[in-house]
Amino acid sequence: MKRLVRFILLLGWIEKQQCRYQMMNLILMNIFDKNKQRFVLAAWCFLLCSGFIGGLFKKGVERVPLENELEKILRVQIHLDNNDIGPGRLDGRLGQFTHQAVALYNSNYQFKDGSLVAPDNWYYVLRDSDQQVKSLYASYMIRKGDLAQLKHDLPYEPEKQEKYSSLPYRWLRELIAERYHCDERFLQHLNRGRDFRKMKAGETVIVPNVVPFEYEKVPRNHQYPKKAGLSQTHVLIDTKANYAVFYRNQQLIAGFPITAGREKNIPYGKWKVKIMVTTPTFRWDKQMLEEGVRSDTYYTLPAGPNNPVGIIWAGLNKSGIGLHGTRFPDTIGREYSAGCIRFANWDANKLHQLIRPGASVEVR
């Protein structure tokens, strides 16, 4: 069925609309049970390709920005990020996650006449981002505390990392890029000709104008208790689209890109958040990471932004599995995890505002 649907999509859509299948699958799986999803999605694809379903959508579709319209795309990315609909790394490029975030953003729109906003209609997100994001860039002054966090010689081998008291940032560019939710190469692009390795406190750099994530403000070893409302959140993990969507009272409240495990390690099913703790340590066990089975040979890695599980651990009622951050934001959606659900640290930092122990998590 999936092959048939994808074939229909290829026949009916141009390249710029390639993410519509993934997002409609993500939206439909929240409405229908699993047995009905295939039928509904196939019917949706047939009707949409045939042109019969166009009347359901509001007319006046705004075109998708061109690849070279960096500032227009970046403005949308910043707006989505500030509204907890994660577009992935801020880079001014039309990637998979930006398309998916726009489609998810559109799913919140429904008009009095019952019409909807098509997943790839950019009119409303462009309008809203123009209204809410007045400045694309901000100036950030490097602080002494930023430089004090760095440890250039931090090793990569777990047996050596275990001997350290923390796993901080290695480089200033790494720190600032994560703070402002962007790609290191994009940060360098904004500051062309400048060498981050030689920068000193008091110098300023250009960054995306987004709400910053500051690791130093993350509470240390804090365990979050259950909380009314947050403990009733439902998290839907779509391992095919590499996206996590958060619902409360059947209303969309947030969505972020994720990396799921290898197919054999994905914990499909329904689970509950059992524990949430900040700045966790990590039990690095090669056999566990590769085969999903614990061994007696492991290393306990200290906390820090370069800890493999990032800045927070939301453990599920399945041993060794949880929602967590990452030390490598560039890998989100691009590499497999060992079975857990991995978020960029700037998105993982919002988890405590969305879920608490008791929240339900469904992995599909």
- Which CATH number do you get for residue 239? 2.40.440.10
Are 87 and 101 in a shared domain? yes
Are 19 and 40 in a shared domain? yes
Residue 355 domain-assigned? yes
Residues paired with 301 in a beta bridge: 282
Are 161 and 201 in a shared domain? yes
Are 183 and 293 in a shared domain? no
Looking up tokens 């122990």 gives 357
Last residue of a domain, one of 111, 132, 153: 132
Are 79 and 173 in a shared domain? no
Are 85 and 160 in a shared domain? no
Are 248 and 326 in a shared domain? yes
| Ranges of the chain with pLDDT below 70 | 1-62, 111-114
Are 187 and 258 in a shared domain? no
pLDDT in tens, 190-229: 999 999 999 999 999 999 999 999 999 999 999 999 999 9
Are 241 and 125 in a shared domain? no
- Provide the domain count of the chain: 3
Residue 30 domain-assigned? yes
Measured CA to CA, the distance from residue 261 to residue 257 in angstroms comes to 14
274 burial level (CB within 10 Å; 0-12, 13-18, 19+):
middle
Residue 225 domain-assigned? no
The domain in which residue 240 lies consists of 230-363
What SS3 state is found at 22?
helix
What SS3 state is found at 248?
strand
Residue 223 domain-assigned? no
Are 149 and 179 in a shared domain? yes
